[in-house]
Amino acid sequence: MKEMIRSVLDRFGYEIKCKINSDETSYDIFPENSLYEKRFYNIGAGSFNHLYWMNIDYATEHYNKVQKDFINYNLMELKPLPIEDNVAEIVYSSHTIEHVSDEAVHNMLRESYRILKPGGGIRLTTPNAWLEFQAYKRNDIRYWYWVDWYGKPGTWERLYKVPLPKASIHQLFLHHFASQLCEIDVDDSPERKYSDSEIIEFFTNNPDVSGLDYFTKQCRFNADHPGNHINWWTHDKVISFLKEAGFSAPYGSGWGQSVLPPLRDTALFDNTHPKISLYVEAFK
pLDDT 10s digits, 32-76: 999 999 999 999 998 899 999 999 999 877 666 666 778 999 999
In angstroms, rounded to a whole number, what is the distance separating the alpha carbons of residues 73 and 166?
37
CA-based end-to-end distance of the chain: 40
Q: Are strands 71-72 and 53-57 parallel, antiparallel or unpaired?
A: parallel
Domain ranges of the chain: 2-128+233-283, 129-216
Phi, psi (rounded to 5 degrees) for 108: -60, -40
Mean pLDDT across the stretch 187-216? 96
According to the model, what pLDDT value does residue 206 have? 95
3-class SS of residue 223 = coil
* 101 pLDDT higher than 80: yes
Per-residue DSSP letter, 18: B
Contacts of 149 (CB under 8 A, 6+ apart): 11, 155, 164
Mean pLDDT across the stretch 242-271? 97
How crowded is residue 250: how many other Cβ atoms within 10 Å of its Cβ?
21
In angstroms, rounded to a whole number, what is the distance separating the alpha carbons of residues 194 and 171?
8
Helices and strands counted in the chain (H then E): 8, 7
Q: Whole-number mean pLDDT of the chain?
A: 91
Residue 271 and residue 139 in contact, taking contact as beta carbons nearer than 8 Å: no
Does the 2-128+233-283 domain belong in CATH 3.40.225.10? no
3-class SS of residue 210 = helix
Nearest to 95 by CA among 131, 124, 56, 57: 124
According to the model, what pLDDT value does residue 69 have? 77
